[in-house]
Amino acid sequence: MNFFESQDRVRKNTFRLVLLFTLAVVTLIIMTNLLVMVVFGYIDSQQVQDGGELLLQMDWQTFAVISIAVGTVVLVGSFYKIMTLSAGGKAVAESLGGQLIPQDTNDLKQRKLLNVVQEMAIASGTPAPPVYLLTGEQGINAFAAGFTPRDAVIGVTQGTIDHLSRDQLQGVIAHEFSHIFNGDMRLNIRLMGILNGILIIGLIGYYMLYSASFSGRGRSSGKGAGGILALAIGLMVLGFAGTFFGGLIKAAVSRQREYLADASAVQFTRNPDGIAGALKRIGGLEFGSKIENPGAPEVSHAFFAQGISGFMSSLSATHPPLAKRIKAIDPHWDGKFDTEDKTDRQPKQQDKKQADKKAGMSREELANKMTTILAGAAIADVANAIDQIGNPSQETISHARTLIAEMPAVVATAASEPYGARALIYSMVLDKGQDVRGQQLQYLQEKADPDVFVLTQKFIPELENLKIEHRLPLMDMAIPALKQLSANQYKIFRANLIALIKMDDKVDLMEWSLQKILFNHLDAQFFKLTRIKARYSKLKQLKKETSMVLSVLAHAGNKNDTDVKNAFNAAAKTLDFGGLELLARNEINLANMDRALKKLAMLKPLVKPQFLKACVASIAHDQKISPVEVELLRTFSDVLDCPMPPVKI
């Protein structure tokens, strides 16, 4: 199952979830009505036992009122919970006591965790999500939470970084990235909202019982007081019974997804010992994977491993048993869990040579193969380029590790904190011409934070010498730090960046791409944006928009008219419909392209690869690839929420 199929599966699961929720609400309405009718004497239970018809005794006016009340309470409870989680994964992480790990942390264990997350993110072609640490939790566990990759966070317990080696930690993080790319996070949050709505009925019963117990009426022996107590107890039973069955639904939805995420993690890292080792360590640790925070039951289905235990936990467990998960990854497992922590060691040169020999190739051969595969992903094999979305190859991970290692140390360090991150982005869009650059620097001196302006001047030489293939990874590295800005700081940064780009009075597609990707990830963090809904099931419904974007790509990668036409026609041939028109350069403007991309982002998951394959066909028609084509392809895929792994230029 690839990235697009996984996204489509989640949409179908969401539909099933809504259906099950509707059935649960209808059941609650019927049971609550029966409870009220019996408690307050609308229904004579003796007559029903003697053969009287239940329906004839029902007070249908009261039934309607109660039905509306119960439905409203459940829906409001669910809607309220979902609204409280609208901030994305951050709200979930903070509800569990998670603390954001700063990008410039000096703690070695936290640094290792951030490095693993960053490496995975760059290999996936997406900015690293913020990482939250659950400092008081000694069990080994983790989770990914959010609605989309743009607002996703990863949460990790203290026990995870204390007891796992780097390879094991990489397996856990790869598992969580699988949940991010497969759309499981959105389903998890909807589950939380739905179950909260059902739980409201039980909470109402609890507060009624609590209130009646301490009131004068509660101490009297009146029939009304007894009825209220009976109703309160009945509502508690109904509410918590509904939650129990909701837990069964949650378990049914979650278990299979855990097997899929485990398999994806192995495919991601090409190291089954990593995630299998983490699971074995959980089994051998005294604390296991338990989460002590009171909010854990609500988020249990999102954890890496079973985080809670209790009455009939095996029936409503959200995760498969550890042994079954390990056996699925390591069929030859001897059944023994690991009881000792594995320390990381730096591989010696001899170890590296042995590893290369075991792989059947020298390091030089491996480098050549990586170059061939990565170049072929964008040029020779269109299907391979699309298949790597949400599922990068081991060669891509190695390439990402190389990109990070080659980054100048001063630049990589600056990207990890908010001041340096802003300065680096400003430096990336400074004009080559001294006149325009002078105006830009003067503007920054007046509008930007003084310390940021000083850093911007400092980084100009570094950014001028930066390799073109490092531009996008550097931006991905800077985005997590930029998410730590205050709302006011971000507004100033955003306005300054737009002003710098516009100052040279010309359209630069690479600057536009940088701005588009940045704002695509950061605006969701600082502004309340309406989430894009999938509306279009066929690409031919958006012929005008498709023509616009493919025309931009054809003009960007080719100079003469013949090559432009050939590039556009190569893209059009991959599609199963006609009617596309190549636009002239003077018919293209960025405002229209923004509108076109906004509509294309509304394509349903299984349709998106058709558009992206057309883009890659346009790039590959002449067997050449330019930096602007790479950045545009990354931008288009980013807007469509399809993270494209880095391509070696």
Domain locations in the chain as residue ranges: 3-88+189-250, 91-187+262-329, 407-526, 539-639
Q: Are strands 142-145 and 131-134 parallel, antiparallel or unpaired?
A: unpaired
**Mean pLDDT (the chain, rounded):** 80
Per residue, what are the HEC states of 454-521? HHHHHHHHHHHCCCHHHHHHHHHHHHHHHCCCCHHHHHHHHHHHHHHHHCCCCCCHHHHHHHHHHHHH
Q: Which residues contact 604 (CB under 8 A, 6 or more apart)?
A: 8, 11, 534, 535, 536, 537
Instruction: Classify residue 603 by its DSSP letter.
Output: B
User: pLDDT higher for 534 or 632?
Assistant: 632
- What average pLDDT does this structure show over 351-377? 44
- DSSP letters along 165-200, please? -HHHHHHHHHHHHHHHHTTHHHHHHHHHHHHHHHHH
| Rounded CA Rg of the chain | 28
Question: What pLDDT, in 10s, does the model give residues 544-558?
Answer: 999 999 999 999 989
Quick one: pLDDT band at residue 98, thresholds 50, 70, 90? very high
Instruction: Classify residue 313 by its DSSP letter.
Output: T
What per-residue confidence (pLDDT) applies to 490? 95
Maximal CA-CA distance, the chain: 97
CB 246 within 8 A of CB 195: yes
- pLDDT higher than threshold 60 for residue 7: no
Say how far apart CA 238 and CA 34 lie, in whole Å: 11
Q: Which CATH architecture has domain 91-187+262-329?
A: 2-Layer Sandwich (3.30)
User: pLDDT higher for 291 or 181?
Assistant: 291
What per-residue confidence (pLDDT) applies to 36? 74
Specify the range with the lowest mean pLDDT, choosing from 99-103, 223-227, 500-504.
223-227
What per-residue confidence (pLDDT) applies to 249? 66
- What share of the chain has pLDDT > 70, as a percent? 76
Say how far apart CA 378 and CA 201 lie, in whole Å: 54
Question: Which H or E element spans position 155?
Answer: strand 153-157
Q: Collapse the DSSP code of 364 into the 3-class scheme (helix H, G, I; strand E, B; otherwise coil) and give the result.
A: helix
- DSSP letters along 392-440, please? --HHHHHHHHHHHHHS-HHHHHHTTSHHHHHHHHHHHT--SSHHHHHHH
Question: What pLDDT, in 10s, does the model give residues 145-155?
Answer: 888 778 889 99
Quick one: pLDDT band at residue 354, thresholds 50, 70, 90? very low
Prediction pTM value: 0.72
- What share of the chain has pLDDT > 90, as a percent? 33
Quick one: pLDDT band at residue 321, thresholds 50, 70, 90? confident
- What average pLDDT does this structure show over 212-223? 52
What per-residue confidence (pLDDT) applies to 109? 94
Quick one: pLDDT band at residue 124, thresholds 50, 70, 90? confident
What per-residue confidence (pLDDT) applies to 362? 47
What per-residue confidence (pLDDT) applies to 457? 95
Decide: residue 411, CB within 10 A, 0-12 exposed, 13-18 middle, 19+ buried: buried
What per-residue confidence (pLDDT) applies to 643? 80
What per-residue confidence (pLDDT) applies to 442? 95
- pLDDT higher than threshold 60 for residue 185: yes
Specify the range with the lowest mean pLDDT, choosing from 135-149, 488-502, 542-556.
135-149
Specify the range with the lowest mean pLDDT, choosing from 230-239, 291-300, 407-416, 421-430.
230-239
Centroid of chain to Cα 580: 34
- What average pLDDT does this structure show over 55-78? 78
Decide: residue 46, CB within 10 A, 0-12 exposed, 13-18 middle, 19+ buried: exposed
Task: Indicate if 258 belongs to the active site.
Answer: no
- What average pLDDT does this structure show over 609-625? 87
User: pLDDT higher for 57 or 1?
Assistant: 57
User: pLDDT higher for 238 or 296?
Assistant: 296
- pLDDT higher than threshold 50 for residue 383: no
CB 648 within 8 A of CB 399: yes
User: pLDDT higher for 332 or 252?
Assistant: 332
Q: Which residues pair with 155 in a beta bridge?
A: 132, 143
Q: Which residues contact 349 (CB under 8 A, 6 or more apart)?
A: none
Specify the range with the lowest mean pLDDT, choosing from 19-23, 38-42, 118-122, 161-165.
38-42
Specify the range with the lowest mean pLDDT, choosing from 369-378, 461-470, 531-540, 616-625.
369-378
CB crowding 540-558: b at 16 or more within 10 Å, else e: ebbeebbbbbbbbbbbbbb
- pLDDT higher than threshold 80 for residue 374: no
Instruction: Classify residue 645 by its DSSP letter.
Output: P
User: pLDDT higher for 244 or 368?
Assistant: 244
Long-range CB contact pairs, 554-560, < 8 A, 24+: 554/582, 554/618, 555/585, 555/588, 556/509, 556/626, 556/628, 556/629, 556/632, 557/618, 557/619, 557/624, 557/626, 557/628, 557/629, 558/622
Q: Collapse the DSSP code of 536 into the 3-class scheme (helix H, G, I; strand E, B; otherwise coil) and give the result.
A: strand
What per-residue confidence (pLDDT) applies to 125? 81
Of 630, 117, 121, 120, the closest CA to residue 385 belongs to 630
Please state at what angle helix 590-600 crosses helix 627-639, rounded to 10 degrees: 50
Question: What pLDDT, in 10s, does the model give residues 556-570?
Answer: 989 899 999 999 999
Quick one: pLDDT band at residue 313, thresholds 50, 70, 90? low
CB 160 within 8 A of CB 148: no
Say how far apart CA 480 and CA 639 lie, in whole Å: 18
Instruction: Classify residue 134 by its DSSP letter.
Output: E
What per-residue confidence (pLDDT) applies to 136? 87
- What average pLDDT does this structure show over 157-183? 90
Structure tokens belonging to residue 377: 């992903």
Specify the range with the lowest mean pLDDT, choosing from 388-402, 498-512, 526-540.
388-402
- Residue written as tokens 């084509």? 629
Query: Which of the following is catalytic: 137, 176, 469, 631?
Result: 176
Specify the range with the lowest mean pLDDT, choosing from 25-34, 205-214, 499-508.
205-214
